[in-house]
């Protein structure tokens, strides 16, 4: 019998979190962030890659062997991209033959 109060408590917490995040959404700020992302602005400071750096996302793998990295200007406090110039390798496994 204690499962019902727990389920109700979890549902109330999830609903409260959804309402709070919905209330915190600011369309003007979202439009401003989107405009900033469209400018594709990167830092002038170079970051040297002195030893191999591996980045893995899902089935994609980047190996940055040597070169420089320029980070994208942060938008809303988050860096969302980078430019790499140098020697590296990219591989991706496609799990489904229909995606080729």
> Where are the domains positioned within the chain?
1-39, 41-100
The neighbouring-strand residues paired with 48 are: 68
Predicted local confidence at residue 90, as pLDDT = 96
Predicted local confidence at residue 100, as pLDDT = 65
Share of the chain above pLDDT 90, in %: 36
CATH code, residues 41-100: 2.20.70
Secondary structure (3-state) at 48: strand
CB count within 10 Å of CB 64 equals 21
| Tens of pLDDT, residues 20-67 | 455 578 888 888 888 888 888 888 899 999 999 999 999 999 999 999
This prediction has a pTM of 0.59
| Tens of pLDDT, residues 77-87 | 888 889 999 99
Calculate the average pLDDT of the chain: 79
Task: Report the C-alpha gap between 79 and 29 in whole angstroms.
Answer: 17
């Amino acid at each position: 019998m204690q499962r019902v109060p727990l389920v109700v408590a979890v549902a109330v917490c999830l609903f409260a979190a959804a309402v709070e995040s919905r209330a915190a959404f600011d369309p003007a700020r979202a439009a401003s962030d989107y405009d900033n992302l469209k400018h594709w602005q990167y830092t002038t400071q170079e970051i040297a890659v002195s030893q191999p750096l591996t980045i893995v996302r899902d089935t994609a793998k980047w190996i940055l062997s040597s070169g420089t990295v320029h980070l994208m200007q942060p938008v809303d406090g988050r860096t969302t991209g980078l430019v790499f110039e140098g020697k590296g390798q990219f591989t991706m496994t496609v799990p489904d033959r229909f995606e080729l």
